[in-house]
Amino acid sequence: MRRARDSRFVVLGETHDNPEHQRLQAEIFDSLLRAGRTPALAMEQFDREHQPSLDAARARGLRDAESLAEAGRFDRKGWRWPAYKPLVATAASRGLPILAANLSRADARTLMRSGRPAEGLPPLTPELHAALEKDIVEGHCGLRPSPPVLAGMIEAQRARDAQMARVLAATGLSGAVLIAGSGHARRDRGVPSYLAPELRGNLLSIAFVEVDPAGRNTFERYRGLFDLVWFTSKAEREDPCKGLRMP
């Protein structure tokens, strides 16, 4: 909590369907506010195309979470709205900016189908390509898309991280708290890696990681990827690989 209060940017990496992670994110956000900080709340769960609607709602004086979620076109079912509502409610009640941090789905689809690298990003090194490819294949239960689809998914992932970094960089000295998946919180290839060095140095990356019953997730495994790792219980869920097919 102390390190979060002293950091301009706090990236809170979650497993999206674990409500304990959203509860802990809300605790850290509340801690910053109690300490007198006034950071913006940036969320992967809002797409950037809906930022004008969010801003208009705030300008009209709307301060309730439900209205702001509606204005930002929050996908209530896909993102399990009840788990995120306390974060939005806290920011709304304090009049803090709520930032749509994610690349729009339409832009991501267009990029994936284009067969071209994402614009404005540094060249994709062989090492980064291999790492992102591994992430995507593992994230899809070991299924490997066709090479064109895989290449598009890699570029879309890079574009998402870069977009979230731009949102953080555009905030003032009050900084921001970013709510995103733990992969986006990685210092080596996530959002922090797309920030200027002087901004990256004033950022705290925290990953909430579910305990692995087999004991494979030791702190050493995550050294250099995040500043802090906070182990949590494992959420109850159906087998995510059951019936999964690649497009």
First-residue to last-residue Cα distance in the chain = 42
- Are 41 and 98 in contact, with CB atoms under 8 Å apart? yes
Residue 155 lies in a domain: yes
Residue 183 lies in a domain: yes
Residue 191 lies in a domain: yes
Residue 241 lies in a domain: no
Nearest to 189 by CA among 118, 132, 116, 122: 132
Instruction: Provide the residue-wise pLDDT of the chain in tens; the chain has 247 residues.
Output: 999 999 999 999 999 999 999 999 999 999 999 999 999 999 999 999 999 999 999 999 999 999 999 999 999 989 999 999 999 999 999 999 999 999 988 999 999 988 888 889 988 999 999 999 999 998 888 889 889 999 999 999 999 999 999 999 999 999 999 999 999 999 999 999 999 999 999 999 999 999 987 777 777 888 899 999 999 999 988 887 877 776 5
CATH of the domain at 183: 3.40.50.11550
Q: What is the domain range of residue 17?
A: 2-232
**Strands, sheet with 203-210, edge to edge from the N-terminal-most edge strand:** 98-102, 40-47, 176-181, 9-14, 203-210, 228-232
Residue 66 lies in a domain: yes
pTM, entire model: 0.94
What's the rounded Cα separation, in Å, for the pair 57 and 43? Answer: 17
Residue 243 lies in a domain: no
Nearest to 73 by CA among 99, 92, 54: 54
Number of domains in the chain: 1
Residue 239 lies in a domain: no
Residue 175 lies in a domain: yes
